[in-house]
């Protein structure tokens, strides 16, 4: 498959590397590829700067947002919450029409420090905002309740015995994404929450998630729905 990933941060890189290792053709979208390739400062977690990372993963193409969706079989939004709508506008609604967009962004607001709040919640969600901005795109919210490593390797923890949810208006798209999560990443328990409004619930989980991270001092944890 040709899979396009929006965003060049840790989450986007982790997903890109995994999908590349599985034999997919991977494109990463960014505002300015030339500028992005000058970034070589390690991030807050000690991960290498993008320039060094890309040298080690040179098979991954880096293109401007406007070219990201060209010929893509699947698009994954790994942008920050604040960057999501701006980035998607740059990609172009017409270029995303009819495509499945996996949205893993969260509306985290760090303006008052850590832990963050949510800049949209309760009566709306970032997932819903994405769907309204892209009415012809088949948006599926998922993977936003675990850290990047567990997104692509759920079996790294408890043999993968934990749960992931999908939310979206298009039933066929949700089924295809659920199958993608199982076949490509190894998720075994994928729960269909319902339409895109149920993204309010999974995004709200982040208020708990960041506090668990603070308490456990380790982001390698997940949720199991026992029923």
Quick one: pLDDT at residue 57? Answer: 95
Quick one: pLDDT at residue 42? Answer: 81
**What is the pairing mode between strands 138-141 and 163-168?**
antiparallel
Give residue for tokens 């819903």: 128
Q: What is the pLDDT along the chain (227 residues), one digit of tens a residue?
A: 999 999 999 999 999 999 999 999 999 999 999 999 998 888 777 788 899 999 999 999 999 999 999 999 999 999 999 999 999 999 999 999 999 999 999 999 999 999 999 999 999 999 999 999 999 999 999 999 999 999 999 999 999 999 999 999 999 999 999 999 999 999 999 999 999 999 999 999 999 999 999 999 999 999 999 99
**What are the domain boundaries of the chain?**
2-216
CA within 13 Å, CB half, 94: 2
Give residue for tokens 């293109």: 63
- The answer to pTM > 0.85 is yes
In angstroms, the Cα distances linking 158 to 15, 30, 106, 213, 222 are 20, 35, 25, 17, 9
Q: Return all residues near 59 (Cβ < 8 A) that are at least 6 apart.
A: 20, 26
- State the alpha helices, DSSP H only, in 22-98: 33-36, 50-56, 81-91, 93-96
Quick one: pLDDT at residue 50? Answer: 92
Phi/psi at 150 (5° precision): -75, -25
Answer yes or no: are the C-beta atoms of 87 and 65 closer than 8 Å: yes
User: How many beta carbons lie within 10 A of that of residue 118, not counting itself?
Assistant: 18
CATH of domain 2-216: 3.40.50.720
Answer yes or no: are the C-beta atoms of 6 and 29 closer than 8 Å: yes
Which tokens go with 179? 């199958």
């Amino acid at each position: 498959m040709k899979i396009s990933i929006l965003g060049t941060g840790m989450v986007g890189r982790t997903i890109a590397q995994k999908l590349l290792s599985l034999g997919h053709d991977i494109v990463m979208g960014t505002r300015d590829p030339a500028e992005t390739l000058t970034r070589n400062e390690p991030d807050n977690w000690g991960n290498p700067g993008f320039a060094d990372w890309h040298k080690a993963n040179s098979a991954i193409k880096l293109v401007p947002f406007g070219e990201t969706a060209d010929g893509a079989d699947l698009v994954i939004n790994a942008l920050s919450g604040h960057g999501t709508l701006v980035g998607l506008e740059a990609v172009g609604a017409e270029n995303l029409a009819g495509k499945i967009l996996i949205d893993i962004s969260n509306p985290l607001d760090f303006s008052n420090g850590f832990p963050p709040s949510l800049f949209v919640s309760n009566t709306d969600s970032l997932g819903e905002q994405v769907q309204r901005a892209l009415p012809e795109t088949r948006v599926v919210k998922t993977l936003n309740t675990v850290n990047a490593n567990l997104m692509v390797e759920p079996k790294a923890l408890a043999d993968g015995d934990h749960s992931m949810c999908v939310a979206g208006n298009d039933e066929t798209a949700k089924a295809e994404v659920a199958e993608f999560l199982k076949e490509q990443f190894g998720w075994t328990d994928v729960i269909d929450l319902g339409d895109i409004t149920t993204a309010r619930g999974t995004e709200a989980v982040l208020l708990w998630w960041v506090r668990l991270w603070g308490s456990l001092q380790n982001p390698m944890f997940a949720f199991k729905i026992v029923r």
